[in-house]
Structure 1
Amino acid sequence: MKDDGVPAHVTGAAKERAFSLADLPDLREFAAAEALRRGMPEDAIGDFLVALNEVATNAVTHGSTKARLGIRSDGTALVVAVHDDGRAWRPEGEPGHDPPPENATSGMGLWVARMLSNELQVTTGPRGTTVTMRFLLA
């Protein structure tokens, strides 16, 4: 963690953007352009954007009204980190690991993001929550 409470892997990202709920359409456009620029195949962009949208929406509806997105390349992967300042979440177990109940109408975001990414990690604590996803570029 840096002194400002933001995980270093978010602020050390090649590209970063703050966002709120109203900014989600622009955030998706920004992320798609970055993913393509960094080598993500066009046919993978749809799944990438669904995963990102689920995590980003969770951040600004359940975490805090403002959140931050960081995108960087890491060898053959695109690493995306979404950080919010929400401090009230205390998950039991690994968030998004188990599928939602059959008739669920909410609570599917992290599970969907985990299914669409190659790796998903959630870290939460007194300085907020960060969801980091990896997507293979090749």
Structure 2
Amino acid sequence: MASIAESFGMSREALSKDFTRAYRAAIEEERAEADVWRRFQTDRCEQLLAAVWDDAMTGDVRANEQARKLIGDINELNGWKAPVRTEVTGAEGGPLAVSTADPDKLAALIAATSRLNSDRPANTATSTPDEDPE
């Protein structure tokens, strides 16, 4: 970076500040363009929603489904969906079981479940009866 700054006759710090300023301006421009696109797409969905709304409100099942999907699209476009809470649990909602294995046990487990060493992969650990060779 020092050689680039030198070629422009400026200090490394000045080049860094100019670059940062330009980078932030580019990000802001991209955000503005995304906002315009989002508004355009939202307007289109709202026009479609208006076209099916009366039928949906009078009980037309198909129009109701279309309206529901359009509302979902509008919510997704604008980031209005509530975050989904995810919790990882063990068997029957209990705590996760954590265990350690020495390298030999791990290698044996990988070998026992590997499907890569066969023309017709199947093994007793993961196959269903329909998958087993005849």
- TM-score higher than 0.5 here? no
Q: Which has the higher helix share?
A: 2
TM-score using structure 1 length: 0.22
Q: Which has the higher strand share?
A: 1
Which has the bigger relative contact order, CA under 8 A and spacing at least 6? 1
Which entry has the higher C-alpha Rg, 1 or 2?
Answer: 2
